[in-house]
């Protein structure tokens, strides 16, 4: 017996145990691949008889599995000499199983998204009520579940920022920045948080780091100018506003910022 037929035998004989473990896609794939390998070979009489017996058993096992029948309710038949028809049935079974997997995945995604949204709303309610420990407990649990989700961390940080929980917002944004060191919007948010915390020097460092990533974001430069306004660094404020206007000459707020800084500098 050739090596391919030996592998085909292993696949066909594995179908029953795979079904018992609830591994329906691997079971159908094994039935498909084993049948295909059989069709590719010229079989001796004894070999053909052995494979016919195996295919009968495979068909029986597939038909006997109640959960599988929910996906594929048609009777899977096999008769000697009709291996091609059996192979087509396996192709259809695989297609339906894949569709079922895709549908289940979509349901899982929707359920996860609904749970995430619900948790964010509950956490926000606690923030609104001033119950910060409870809010943080919910948000920490979310972050633990979706650890690498930078957008989620930024969302929660914004909620902390609006609730004037600046240190919590900074910690979360700094953590998100480690996940995505080139996320410009995170530098912007961190700069705003640190400005509100009056940690002007650290805020400036984050803005300057952001400018090494891009120097063509007028809103980043405008927020940097807002830092210098609070810090009363008028020349730096003017320079940030000028740079923003170089990028976008129609940026009215930057023009007002430049005029204010120029007036302060005399």
Residue span of the structural domain in which 7 resides: 3-105
| pTM attached to this predicted model | 0.61
203 within some domain: no
Work out the burial of residue 231: count CB atoms within 10 Å of its CB; fewer than 13 is exposed, 13-18 middle, 19 or more buried: middle
Q: What is the pLDDT of residues 213-250, one digit of tens each?
A: 998 999 999 999 999 999 999 999 999 999 999 999 99
Are 234 and 264 spatial neighbours (Cβ–Cβ below 8 Å)? yes
Task: Write out pLDDT tens, residues 121-171.
Answer: 999 999 999 999 999 999 999 999 887 789 999 999 999 999 999 999 999
Q: What is the DSSP letter of 183?
A: -
Q: Quick check: is 254 in a domain? A: no
Structural domain includes residue 130? no
Could you give the number of structural domains in the chain? 1
Tokens, residue 248: 């976008």
199/264 Cα distance (integer angstroms): 22
Residue at token pair 């052995």 = 50
Whether residue 243 is contained in a domain is answered as no
Tell me: the pLDDT tens digits for 244-260? Answer: 999 999 999 999 999 99
98 assigned to some structural domain:
yes
Does residue 186 belong to any structural domain of this protein? no
Quick check: is 133 in a domain? no
Over residues 42-46, the mean pLDDT reads: 86
Using DSSP's 3-state secondary structure scheme, residue 26 falls into helix
- Residue 37, in any domain of the structure: yes
Could you tell me which residues come within 8 angstroms of residue 94 by beta carbon, excluding any fewer than 6 positions away? 25, 28, 29, 32
139: which 2 tokens? 């948000």
């Amino acid at each position: 017996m050739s090596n391919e037929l030996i592998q085909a035998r292993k696949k066909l004989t594995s179908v029953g145990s795979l079904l018992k473990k609830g591994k329906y896609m691997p079971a159908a794939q094994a039935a498909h691949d084993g049948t295909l390998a059989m069709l590719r070979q010229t079989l001796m009489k004894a070999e053909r008889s052995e494979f016919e017996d195996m295919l009968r058993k495979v068909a029986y096992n597939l038909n006997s599995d109640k959960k599988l029948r929910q996906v594929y309710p048609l009777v899977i038949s096999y008769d000697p000499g009709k291996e091609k028809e059996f192979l087509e049935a396996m192709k259809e079974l695989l297609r339906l199983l894949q569709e079922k997997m895709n549908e289940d995945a979509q349901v899982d995604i929707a359920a996860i998204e609904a749970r995430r949204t619900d948790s964010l709303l509950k956490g926000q309610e606690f923030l609104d009520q001033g119950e910060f420990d409870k809010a943080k407990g919910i948000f920490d649990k979310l972050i633990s579940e979706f650890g690498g989700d930078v957008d989620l961390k930024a969302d929660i940080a914004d909620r902390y920022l609006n609730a004037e929980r600046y240190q919590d917002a900074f910690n979360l944004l700094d953590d998100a920045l480690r996940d995505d060191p080139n996320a410009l919007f995170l530098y912007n948010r961190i700069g705003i948080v640190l400005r509100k915390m009056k940690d002007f020097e650290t805020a400036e460092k984050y803005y300057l780091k952001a400018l090494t990533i891009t120097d063509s974001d007028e809103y980043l430069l405008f927020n940097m100018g807002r830092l210098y306004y609070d810090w009363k660094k008028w020349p730096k404020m003017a320079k940030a506003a000028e740079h923003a206007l170089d990028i976008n000459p129609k940026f009215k707020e930057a023009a007002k910022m430049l005029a204010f800084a120029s007036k302060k500098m005399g």
